[in-house]
A and B are shown apart, each in its own frame.
Chain A
């Protein structure tokens, strides 16, 4: 019998996501994929999965999951959520073995927006247009092109690269970043110099109008205006573009953006800051800082290197929970995390 991860219950916004499907822009399909590519990659790295493996992306709340047909290695990365195994709290940024029939409960998100549940070997569901990433609006990818729901049983792939023992990562440093770096955008020239300055001096707030397509920004300051209110001719937009519609309130274009757009784009968030930006919660203030191309690439290089080394930066999670199930909660709560800790559930 194939090993599966069964969803007993779940929130409304769980989707299968991977690194996305580049190559279909000319067909009207944006790359999509994980909103926090770093969180996704860390889960993949912890479990020794191949780069094309998909994970479950969770926003708001998680669900109840259980393996059937065998044990499943699980990694929890990205934004931390309250989590427990059979009632015993489990820390985030960990990888561990979940036995057949054990219940993994993932509750509300504690910090950030997007969390990832990865499994060793990845989810063995057929790629659509070269990727398992779900774009529900287009009905492409994931499970039947839709969000996940209770009763879904996701087949788990095989792997020869699973960890020997449970692992925990050092705390993540990107959930409280509020300075986001940008490059000036394709239509920056349509904005007068003083408006561009104001753009980088204005504290914008993440609004509640935010999803996998885009994030609307709010401010009490005057709207950002273009020279003579020009609307650009529609052409390709890219991940992280900050477009400015007529009301002067920028919208950041995210993973499931429409692939073309006609509003002037003043700036683009650098790739290395996409994970931090995606994790900003509504109400958070954000300041955009212009950098040059060299700085953007250096930041991307650093992030890529850090993610590639993720497994070597992991430390053992004390003991194998297979051997000592009673100590699972004990060790996971009071374990290795140092420095800026994730608040314990009971402190919230």
Chain B
């Protein structure tokens, strides 16, 4: 650990990114200590730069909410040499003001909200003192960036939603929610591709699967991409479900500049 603290700005971003220990085969570069689009974009932009740099003996990298994990073979590349190399790349620009990397894609995700598909929607509307329609409108009001993919294969974390979605996760973990479930908490949405347990509040379901082993490529969406949640009725959901079952996509993605 080069240092454990850095000067943090009011938004939680560090003036200088921090190296964090992650065992003897990985290290973490942390850009801030908050769930924040600027910090997250720094991680995504730096991860894109790392991929481009293609450092030898680095086995994989991954951008997350606020950091980048770099895994490497420490018997072939010394941790000190790797840190030096990473420091050089970090010094190339202020990653907190870096533009998002090119080639990201925007995905339209049809969502059937409420009812059996979104059992927690009514409760959220009740707590907020508004109608379910208002929550649905708020959820799709702005395009949502994929902050990271984690927890399970193709499990997307997106952000940031309006304040009304600043809700804690549930006390009780639901033992399982089906693939395609769209759930919210802490101003983030999560979209799963497999059956998972979750403590997030499920408001709807999409026929889209970002992970499908029967499809090539098996994974579609990555950190930095954007999602546009579009409410659909049951008939439209069924139609898209058939398209997906036949190996298709509800909508072709749009490549962003």
Residue A186 lies at the interface, judged by CB distance under 8 Å to chain B: yes
Q: Which of A29, A233, A239, A268 has the most CB of B within 10 A?
A: A233
A183 adjacent to B23 (CB under 8 Å): yes
Given contacts A184-B1, A238-B22, A271-B23, contact A28 B69 (CB under 8 A): no
Given contacts A234-B157, A235-B65, contact A129 B218 (CB under 8 A): yes
Residue B142 lies at the interface, judged by CB distance under 8 Å to chain A: no
Residue B119 lies at the interface, judged by CB distance under 8 Å to chain A: no
A300 CA / B76 CA spacing, docked (Å): 12
Residue A13 lies at the interface, judged by CB distance under 8 Å to chain B: no
A145 CA / B213 CA spacing, docked (Å): 10
Q: Report the nearest B residue to A22, measured CB to CB.
A: B59
Residue B203 lies at the interface, judged by CB distance under 8 Å to chain A: no
Residue A259 lies at the interface, judged by CB distance under 8 Å to chain B: yes
Residues of A within 8 A of B149 (CB): 26-28
State how many residues of chain A have any CB contact under 8 Å with chain B. 43
CB interface residues, A 20-47, toward B, < 8 Å: 22-29
Chain B nearest CB: distance from A23 CB in Å?
Answer: 5
Chain A nearest CB: distance from B175 CB in Å?
Answer: 13
B26 adjacent to A238 (CB under 8 Å): yes
Q: Report the nearest A residue to B39, measured CB to CB.
A: A233
Chain A nearest CB: distance from B89 CB in Å?
Answer: 18
Residue B5 lies at the interface, judged by CB distance under 8 Å to chain A: yes
B155 adjacent to A28 (CB under 8 Å): yes
Q: Which of A185, A240, A260, A301 has the most CB of B within 10 A?
A: A260
A26 adjacent to B222 (CB under 8 Å): yes
Cβ proximity bits A248-265 to B, threshold 8 Å, 1 near / 0 not: 000000000011100000
B63 adjacent to A26 (CB under 8 Å): yes
B211 adjacent to A23 (CB under 8 Å): no
Residues of B within 8 A of A296 (CB): 23-24
Contact of A138 among B26, B33, B153 (CB under 8 A): B153
B22 adjacent to A185 (CB under 8 Å): yes
Contact of B23 among A23, A26, A139, A239 (CB under 8 A): A239
A258 CA / B152 CA spacing, docked (Å): 6
B154 adjacent to A28 (CB under 8 Å): yes
Residue B16 lies at the interface, judged by CB distance under 8 Å to chain A: no
Residue A269 lies at the interface, judged by CB distance under 8 Å to chain B: yes
Given contacts A26-B222, A28-B151, A259-B150, contact A140 B23 (CB under 8 A): no
B21 adjacent to A260 (CB under 8 Å): no
Residue A293 lies at the interface, judged by CB distance under 8 Å to chain B: yes
Residues of A within 8 A of B33 (CB): 233
Chain A nearest CB: distance from B80 CB in Å?
Answer: 9
Q: Report the nearest A residue to B61, measured CB to CB.
A: A26
Residues of A within 8 A of B64 (CB): 234-236, 260
A238 adjacent to B69 (CB under 8 Å): yes
A268 CA / B79 CA spacing, docked (Å): 16
B194 adjacent to A139 (CB under 8 Å): yes
Residues of A within 8 A of B28 (CB): 186, 235-236
Residues of A within 8 A of B5 (CB): 189
A140 adjacent to B153 (CB under 8 Å): yes
Chain A nearest CB: distance from B181 CB in Å?
Answer: 15
Q: Report the nearest A residue to B222, measured CB to CB.
A: A26
Residue A128 lies at the interface, judged by CB distance under 8 Å to chain B: yes
CB interface residues, B 8-62, toward A, < 8 Å: 20-26, 28, 30, 33-35, 47, 59-62
Residue B183 lies at the interface, judged by CB distance under 8 Å to chain A: no
Chain A nearest CB: distance from B56 CB in Å?
Answer: 15
Known: A236-B62, A260-B150. 10 other contacts (CB 8 A): A22-B59, A25-B60, A27-B222, A188-B4, A189-B4, A233-B66, A234-B64, A235-B30, A240-B23, A268-B22
10 A/B residue pairs, CB under 8 Å, sorted by A: A28-B153, A28-B154, A140-B213, A188-B4, A189-B5, A234-B150, A236-B67, A240-B23, A269-B23, A296-B24
